Amino acid sequence: MASQEEVFKKLVAHCKEYGFVFPSSEIYDGLAAVYDYGQNGVLLKNNIKQYWWDSMVKLHENIVGIDAAIFMHPTTWKASGHVDAFNDPLIDNRDSKKRYRADVLIEDQIAKYEDKINKEVEKAARRFGEKFDADLFRKTNPRVLEHQQKHDALHQRYSDAMNAGDLKELRQIIIDENIVCPISGTTNWTDVRQFNLMFSTDMGSTADGAMKIYLRPETAQGIFVNFLNVQKTGRMKIPFGIAQMGKAFRNEIVARQFIFRMREFEQMEMQFFVRPGEEMQWFDFWRQTRLKWHKALGLGDEKYRFHDHEKLAHYANAATDIEFEMPFGFKEVEGIHSRTNFDLSQHAKYSGKKIEYFDPELNQSYTPYVIETSIGVDRMFLSVLSAAYQEEQLEGGDRRVVLRLPAVLAPVKACVMPLVRKDGLPEKAQEVMNLLKYDFNCSYDEKDSIGKRYRRQDAIGTPFCITIDHETLNDQSVTIRYRDTMQQERIAISELHSLIQRATAMSTLFRKIME
């Protein structure tokens, strides 16, 4: 069996080979942590975005969308706290000259203790079989208790240091835990420094007239500064939400793991404005609703878990992540935050404008509280692809790589193939294309053997292949071949449209979410 790391490497190579993701400006050797989406990638990405957008704006009468500019008045970022506090603690290893996030090094160390405990439990479970009581084992086994105690002590020390912003202590933890650089293997660490993640540029042509502005590090602030515009012009009544998708930029210190951590990426965020005091009930609502959105795709319920935050951002009073099991472990894909009235109050303070809502039912004005759902398109893309990518050994010694993508997200829904390039079959195939292409993204392929053509479609996750043969000309039937089962059956051309419609309709997923 290939290790998860090898599988991940293969997935990255597959993304390039089949036109999903390319390194940016590759002919110049690429640009670190920046990627381009290819001909199939852009289709998958757009489908993910449509699935999210419709689940917000179409399914909820009280959620509307906007598309704010990437450039914003620089005071926005002063008010939001990003100028002063959007920092990561960085540390360099003097021997390898590699840079790391100090918090990530320590969190990985904490995770190592958790792994050790889980390994002990798994080992014992195998040994004791059915009689095994995992809870009791965790409470009593001396080795588990020892790891647990080290884990808890480190966890406490780390949270205290982060909460106090104590950079010296962060470094000391790294030294005391003997955390080594994975490249050089040494503990020859520099001091820990704060590093602001925002990219800046100058707007305006003259040197003295130029203004330093930032590329937005999140899309949310475009929603907050438009709160009054949308509420008034849309006559929105609380509770209501504003949704937005768009690019965000962060000068990440450590940008590895492919499109998991990029410097230019895309977010889909929704801010839901509620009455003060009702935020926890809406936090729970969105926590559940968002998990249902993920699970409806059918990638496997066991691949998701919540991770509640202990250290909350300065603006939040509750926060959780939805984590997905990537090839490199459970990782955050989406954050759900209760942001209090922090952002709107800050913008009111810095702009000098009154940003409040008059609640006719309460006959009172207040600054609304906010629940935010924030998901990265690219991380979602990676989670879908990593769950879908499979290498299969077939009967007769053949192998295939198949992307078992949810049909609703598949870049190409059906590929139409004439068996041979003569006898009127290509013309008939074009007729079938014309029947389908107005509603579904379809492709046409007449090169190579049918077997090779099937493999090509498997590799990009096309759920249906439709073959036109000589019989088709007589009886108007085609062979449809299913990606997942590789089964083939004969069906009438007139049935194709409704079959593909049923399998690829987003509405089926939306009903599941709203159940």
Among 375, 407, 410, 412, binds ligand ATP (CB under 6 A): 375
Among 92, 334, 343, 458, binds ligand ATP (CB under 6 A): 334
384 binds ligand ATP (CB under 6 A): no
- Kindly give, in sequence order, each residue whose CB lies less than 8 Å from that of residue 381, ignoring residues fewer than 6 positions away: 41, 44, 45, 48, 259
Site mask, ligand ATP, residues 355-374, x = CB under 6 A?
A: -------------------x
The three-point CA angle 425-431-436 to 5° equals 125
Q: Least distance to ligand ATP from the beta carbon of 402, Å?
A: 26
376 binds ligand ATP (CB under 6 A): yes
Gap between the Cα atoms of 307 and 359, Å rounded: 34
271 binds ligand ATP (CB under 6 A): no
Among 333, 348, 429, 465, binds ligand ATP (CB under 6 A): 333
Decide: 107 and 173 in contact? Cβ < 8 Å.
no
Question: In terms of CB distance, is 42 or 450 closer to ligand ATP?
Answer: 42
Structure tokens at 99: 């840079």
Q: Least distance to ligand ATP from the beta carbon of 378, Å?
A: 5
Among 261, 290, 453, 481, binds ligand ATP (CB under 6 A): 261
Choose one: 122-130, 169-177, 261-269, 460-468; the region binding ligand ATP (CB under 6 A).
Answer: 261-269
How many helices, marked H, and strands, marked E, lie in the chain? 18, 23
Count of residues near ligand ATP by CB under 6 A: 16
268 binds ligand ATP (CB under 6 A): no
Q: Least distance to ligand ATP from the beta carbon of 354, Å?
A: 28
Gap between the Cα atoms of 365 and 36, Å rounded: 46
478 binds ligand ATP (CB under 6 A): no
Decide: 219 and 246 in contact? Cβ < 8 Å.
yes
The end-to-end CA distance of the chain, in Å, is 39
Among 41, 89, 239, 335, binds ligand ATP (CB under 6 A): 335
Among 192, 262, 388, 460, binds ligand ATP (CB under 6 A): 262
Choose one: 40-48, 53-61, 145-153, 260-268; the region binding ligand ATP (CB under 6 A).
Answer: 260-268
Decide: 226 and 242 in contact? Cβ < 8 Å.
yes
Strand 21-23 to strand 35-37: parallel, antiparallel, or no bridges (unpaired)? Answer: antiparallel
Site mask, ligand ATP, residues 386-425, x = CB under 6 A?
A: ----------------------------------------
Choose one: 7-15, 259-267, 396-404, 486-494; the region binding ligand ATP (CB under 6 A).
Answer: 259-267
Gap between the Cα atoms of 100 and 113, Å rounded: 20
C-alpha to C-alpha distances, 395 to 134, 450, 454, 456, 462, nearest whole angstrom = 40, 17, 16, 18, 21
Question: In terms of CB distance, is 120 or 252 closer to ligand ATP?
Answer: 252
- Kindly give, in sequence order, each residue whose CB lies less than 8 Å from that of residue 452, ignoring residues fewer than 6 positions away: none
267 binds ligand ATP (CB under 6 A): yes
Question: In terms of CB distance, is 89 or 376 closer to ligand ATP?
Answer: 376
**Phi-psi map region of 402: left, alpha, beta (phi>0 left; psi -120 to 50 alpha):** beta
The upper half-sphere exposure of residue 249, i.e. CA atoms within 13 Å in the direction of its Cβ, equals 10
Q: Least distance to ligand ATP from the beta carbon of 445, Å?
A: 33
48 binds ligand ATP (CB under 6 A): no
379 binds ligand ATP (CB under 6 A): yes
378 binds ligand ATP (CB under 6 A): yes
Judged by CB under 6 A, the chain residues 191 through 220 that form the site for ligand ATP are 218
- Residue whose CB is nearest to ligand ATP in the complex, by number: 376
Indicate the angle between helix axes 41-53 and 377-388, nearest 10 degrees.
Answer: 110
Assign 283 to helix, strand or coil.
helix
C-alpha to C-alpha distances, 357 to 223, 363, 364, nearest whole angstrom = 15, 10, 8
C-alpha to C-alpha distances, 139 to 51, 109, 121, 344, 456, nearest whole angstrom = 44, 22, 11, 46, 52
Question: In terms of CB distance, is 258 or 282 closer to ligand ATP?
Answer: 258
Q: Least distance to ligand ATP from the beta carbon of 320, Å?
A: 11
Q: Least distance to ligand ATP from the beta carbon of 183, Å?
A: 21
Q: Least distance to ligand ATP from the beta carbon of 54, Å?
A: 19
Cβ-in-10-Å burial (0-12, 13-18, 19+) of 489 comes to: exposed
Structure tokens at 23: 């390194």
DSSP characters over 305-319: EEEE-SS--TT-SEE
Question: In terms of CB distance, is 262 or 466 closer to ligand ATP?
Answer: 262
Q: Least distance to ligand ATP from the beta carbon of 14, Å?
A: 20
Choose one: 8-16, 51-59, 173-181, 328-336; the region binding ligand ATP (CB under 6 A).
Answer: 328-336
Gap between the Cα atoms of 184 and 93, Å rounded: 8
Question: In terms of CB distance, is 217 or 368 closer to ligand ATP?
Answer: 217
250 binds ligand ATP (CB under 6 A): yes
Among 265, 293, 357, 389, binds ligand ATP (CB under 6 A): 265
Among 107, 146, 169, 252, binds ligand ATP (CB under 6 A): 252
Assign 4 to helix, strand or coil.
helix
Q: Which residues of this protein are in contact with ligand ATP, per CB under 6 A?
A: 218, 250, 252, 261-262, 265, 267, 332-335, 374-376, 378-379
